[in-house]
Amino acid sequence: MDDKILPTIDLERCTGCGLCAELCPTHAVEMIDARPAVVRVQDCAYCGMCEEMCPVEAIGLVYEIVLPPPSESSS
């Protein structure tokens, strides 16, 4: 598995409505025991649809922040 960053699902907040699984264009999310899970990690296109459509904002896409290397200033 690679180190791709995936949507994180806050199951405390999730109401189990199933919208994310229904709307995920690549079917990466599935409902398991009435709870959503990213079951096909490799299929997630990181499109943001689930985050956008979740009515209770239980899904967040964690963005990777890549900092530039420190410049070698000689001042």
Q: Give me the residues that bind ligand SF4 (CB under 6 A), please.
A: 7, 9, 14-20, 24-26, 28-29, 36, 38, 44-50, 54, 56, 58-59
For ligand SF4, give the closer residue by CB, 55 or 69. 55
Q: Residues near 25 by Cβ (< 8 Å), separated by ≥ 6?
A: 45, 47, 49
Rounded to a whole number of angstroms, the minimum distance from the CB of residue 40 to ligand SF4 is: 9
For ligand SF4, give the closer residue by CB, 65 or 67. 65
Residue type, 33: D
Would you give the distance in Å from CA 16 to the centre of its chain? 16
**How many residues does this entry show for the chain?**
75
